[in-house]
Structure 1
Amino acid sequence: MNLFAWLRSAAPILDARQKQRLENLAICAPTNQNPLRQQRWVVLDLETSGLNLNRDLVLSIGAVVIEDGAIDFGQQFERTLLRPDHKLSPSVLLHGLGPSAIAAGSEPVDALLDLMEFVGDSPFMAFHAAFDQHMLTRALKDSLGYRLQHRFLDVAEMAPMLFPHANIRHAGLDDWTAFFGLQAGERHHASADALVTAELALILFSHARKQQIDNPASLEQSLSQWRRRQQSHSFSRSWHAIE
Structure 2
Amino acid sequence: MFKSLINNWNKKKLSDDRFTFLFDEGNDDEIVVFDCETTGLDPKQDDIISIGAVKIKNNKIFLNDALHLYIKQEKEIDHKSITIHQIRNCDLDGAIPLREAIERFLYFIGNKTLAGYYLEFDVAMINKYTKEMLGITLPNSQVEISSIYYNKKIQTIPQGNIDLRFNTILKELSLPRLHAHDALNDAVMTAMMYLKLKNIKKL
- TM-score, normalising length: structure 2: 0.82
Quick check: 2:54–2:62 contact (8 Å CA) kept in 1?
A: yes
Match of 2:53 among 63, 68, 72: 63
Shift of 1:152: 1.5
In 1, the alpha carbon distance for the partners of 2:190 and 2:17 equals: 31
- The answer to whether residue 167 in structure 2 is matched with residue 174 in structure 1 is yes
- The answer to whether residue 191 in structure 2 is matched with residue 198 in structure 1 is yes
- The answer to whether residue 100 in structure 2 is matched with residue 105 in structure 1 is no
Structure 2 CA distance for partners of 1:168 and 1:44, relative to 1, 3 Å: farther
CA deviation string 1:9-50 (max 9, x = no partner): xxxxxxxxxx9xx53222244467xxxxx6111001011111
- The answer to whether residue 18 in structure 2 is matched with residue 24 in structure 1 is yes
Q: Larger relative CO (CA 8 A, sep 6+): 1 or 2?
A: 2
Amino acid at match of 2:111: D
Shift of 1:162: 1.5
CA deviation string 1:155-198 (max 9, x = no partner): 01110101223656342111100111111111011000000000
Amino acid at match of 1:141: K
- Of 59-68 and 79-88, the range deviating more from structure 2: 79-88
Is the partner of 2:199 in helix, strand or coil? helix
Q: Give ranges in structure 1 of 5+ residues lacking alignment.
A: 1-18, 33-37, 212-243
Quick check: 1:84–1:103 contact (8 Å CA) kept in 2?
A: no
In 1, the alpha carbon distance for the partners of 2:174 and 2:30 equals: 25
- The answer to whether residue 105 in structure 2 is matched with residue 115 in structure 1 is yes
Amino acid at match of 1:57: D
Is the partner of 1:27 in helix, strand or coil? helix
> How do 1:4-15 and structure 2 match up within 5 A?
none
Amino acid at match of 1:27: L
Quick check: 1:49–1:89 contact (8 Å CA) kept in 2?
A: no
Amino acid at match of 1:82: K
In 1, the alpha carbon distance for the partners of 2:88 and 2:71 equals: 12
CA deviation string 1:34-89 (max 9, x = no partner): xxxx6111001011111113111111100011111211122200001100424424
| RMSD between superposed Cα atoms in Å | 2.2
- The answer to whether residue 45 in structure 2 is matched with residue 45 in structure 1 is no
- Number of residues of Structure 1 aligned to a counterpart in Structure 2: 184
Shift of 1:131: 0.8
> How do 1:77-92 and structure 2 match up within 5 A?
77-92=67-82
Q: Give ranges in structure 2 of 5+ residues lacking alignment.
A: 1-14
In 1, the alpha carbon distance for the partners of 2:90 and 2:123 equals: 27
More helix by share: 1
In 1, the alpha carbon distance for the partners of 2:161 and 2:115 equals: 20
Quick check: 1:43–1:198 contact (8 Å CA) kept in 2?
A: yes
Is the partner of 1:196 in helix, strand or coil? helix
Structure 2 CA distance for partners of 1:146 and 1:82, relative to 1, 3 Å: farther
Quick check: 1:83–1:103 contact (8 Å CA) kept in 2?
A: no
In 2, the alpha carbon distance for the partners of 1:160 and 1:205 equals: 13
Is the partner of 1:178 in helix, strand or coil? helix
Bigger-Rg structure (1/2)? 1
**Identical residues among aligned pairs (%):** 21
Amino acid at match of 1:189: D
In 2, the alpha carbon distance for the partners of 1:31 and 1:104 equals: 33
- TM-score, normalising length: structure 1: 0.69
Structure 2 CA distance for partners of 1:98 and 1:87, relative to 1, 3 Å: closer
